[in-house]
Structure 1
């Protein structure tokens, strides 16, 4: 009997691959950097990190574009001036560097040492003895994230604090993280191992942190986030309802070099996925520069730009206050083709704003369609400037190019503008990401619109 039980326990344990040479080199480099940072005072770590963030900004055009795109979306409802947006982008890179190095320093400190660098508000909510039920703490990747793991050690009466996490790809780094979290009183629960253990902690009762700001893809619920439609995780709501736990948000913001403010805001019983997403957004707006905007939160699919890879009610899209923007061209500027296609696109995604390059005169009757003049005979070098002007005509950035009547010149300009999805008709090769046959009847345009928003069938295991 004992042998059988032990065998089952071994089978239940998650399988981990042995570390490779690359894993060992990464681990050695990390521990070396950590050792150096650990010898510096906290404010010096923050200063050094700000310089590192500035240097990374200078050498990484990819992330410069991504941060700008994300912050344009996050501020689209209350647009910033170009100068203010540039300053916010610059500060975001500097804060990321400062928070990263400070997190490395914080990992080597005791909770008592770290407490000297943190101000807290309402963090006594973590103590659940008097409340009598668990607490789901909604968090984003924000500020000195090492504070999250040490919160239980910063307040008397909090014996443990759990978090749901995604295991690291490097097994050595993953083991180090788990051991340190355990020493700090924080239990890590892998997303890959189910949610029975996290629910048990909530029912004990205890607090459980959930990072809820990343895009879950097909497993998510489609709704507006910062006004723009995207996929949002239902996990915090599901956990809170199943464990009959309360919900709160956690904000970690920088107040000075090497100093942060951690604040919790109690929501009570779960307000549902929509209420949680709204509360998370409010928490992140406290300090946008402290948010880790390096995740492509509103990513557009290359071949299905209108799809979220999961079904959703188009009525939800009408709640979006920040549109998805597509650039459109049509062959010969056919009004009949345009009417059918535009109507079909709006049927799939009512939250669209269509920037239409056309020579047809007059405004479009639907305010969501904005016409732009385009001279097909213009020199190739004018294409970049035209796209820049169109992109800047709205606070939110362009998301995709539907160049059904466009030339390769426009497609290359769209590629240089970092648009992920560039769709055409009877085209092939780069920079195009998908090609359709040019429709010969109106239903063909409807089929194209439906295909751009289609939810693909799940792959068989």
Structure 2
């Protein structure tokens, strides 16, 4: 991992504010801590970071049919989910105690168990949806060897304690672009590794997401084909109480070619997002082509 040797004033300030908020949150019982951080990110972080503007712009681009009231609900609900997720991740054992014994639902649960029993590698397809560390905790709680690729953050101060927090949930973690050999060794030994695929990737394939062109990394599918491994989408869906989750494992994506398989991942994630719009990270700069859709004949 490459760190910034001299963090900027902005980096130091933002890290200090975050640690202060988290210290305040951790002084509260779990049931109050999680919604408190949701409120803080919604009302303090999102306006300053420009998230509200970006959420509105992304929704106008992809879901122009949404009523104004629903857009404004999502402007508040999306940051709330982010704040809750951060509070959960930084709660360590309190969070793990709530997720490690969650049942795995869906047609892919049996495929995960079979691969674990047989010592076969699995590529887990994960989006920035719900709380993606909830299902990591659930898989680790079942004894699955679950690793994940993570993207080191530009703010090295924040990255240090964030990495400690997510490492407490499950390991190993592999830094993107730095730990490829170690990741391959882990997979070939029968491990499972989670790949993210729902952020803009300049060298990605020209696929679609929400009906818009979206350059998407195909590395998860490529590796599944290379290792003859199952490619399995998984989601931790936040429940209406705001504190609990349902773990849904979809059936393995049929092997074909990398682009077809990755488009299937995009389509599967879109279905989950449309069912739970507030649980995806709409602050991503996911779509670079902002032109209006071309009317179809």
Does TM-score exceed 0.5, indicating one fold? yes
Answer with 1 or 2: which has the greater Rg.
1
Q: Indicate conservation of the 8 Å contact 1:48/1:98, yes or no.
A: no
Cα distance, 1:215 vs. partner?
A: 0.8
Q: Could you tell me which of 168, 175, 184 is aligned with 2:169? A: 184
- Cα separation, partners in 2 of 1:71 and 1:56, compared to 1, 3 Å: farther
Q: Which residue of 2 aligns with 1:97?
A: 80
Pairwise CA RMSD of aligned residues?
3.2
Q: Indicate conservation of the 8 Å contact 1:202/1:245, yes or no.
A: no
Given the alignment of the two structures, is residue 69 of structure 1 paired with residue 54 of structure 2, yes or no?
Answer: no
Aligned partners of 2:133 and 2:57: how far apart in 1? Answer: 27
**SS of 1:229 mapped into structure 2:** strand
- By relative contact order (CA 8 Å, sep 6+), the higher-ranking structure is 2
Q: Indicate conservation of the 8 Å contact 1:106/1:146, yes or no.
A: yes
Cα deviation code 1:127-162 (max 9, x no counterpart): 53324421111111112243254234332x22x321
Given the alignment of the two structures, is residue 170 of structure 1 paired with residue 155 of structure 2, yes or no?
Answer: yes
Cα distance, 1:45 vs. partner?
A: 3.2
Q: Which residue of 2 aligns with 1:241?
A: 225
**SS of 2:252 mapped into structure 1:** strand
Q: Which structure shows the higher helix fraction? A: 2
Aligned partners of 1:196 and 1:171: how far apart in 2? Answer: 24
**SS of 2:120 mapped into structure 1:** coil
Alignment of 1:48-197 (within 5 A): 48-52=36-40, 54-55=42-43, 59=47, 62-75=50-63, 79-80=65-66, 82-83=67-68, 86-110=69-93, 112-115=96-99, 120-122=104-106, 126-127=112-113, 128-155=115-142, 157-158=143-144, 160-193=145-178, 195-197=180-182
Aligned partners of 1:251 and 1:51: how far apart in 2? Answer: 24
TM-score by length of 2: 0.81
Q: Could you tell me which of 209, 214, 238 is aligned with 2:194? A: 209
TM-score by length of 1: 0.55
**How many residues align structurally?**
287
**SS of 2:272 mapped into structure 1:** helix
Aligned partners of 1:226 and 1:192: how far apart in 2? Answer: 28
Q: Indicate conservation of the 8 Å contact 1:67/1:89, yes or no.
A: no
Q: Could you tell me which of 4, 25, 42 is aligned with 2:30? A: 42
Q: Could you tell me which of 222, 232, 242 is aligned with 2:206? A: 222
Aligned partners of 1:212 and 1:149: how far apart in 2? Answer: 16
- Cα separation, partners in 2 of 1:135 and 1:170, compared to 1, 3 Å: same
Q: Indicate conservation of the 8 Å contact 2:123/2:230, yes or no.
A: yes
Aligned partners of 1:116 and 1:194: how far apart in 2? Answer: 27
Given the alignment of the two structures, is residue 352 of structure 1 paired with residue 287 of structure 2, yes or no?
Answer: no
Alignment of 1:242-281 (within 5 A): 242-255=226-239, 256-271=241-256, 272-281=261-270
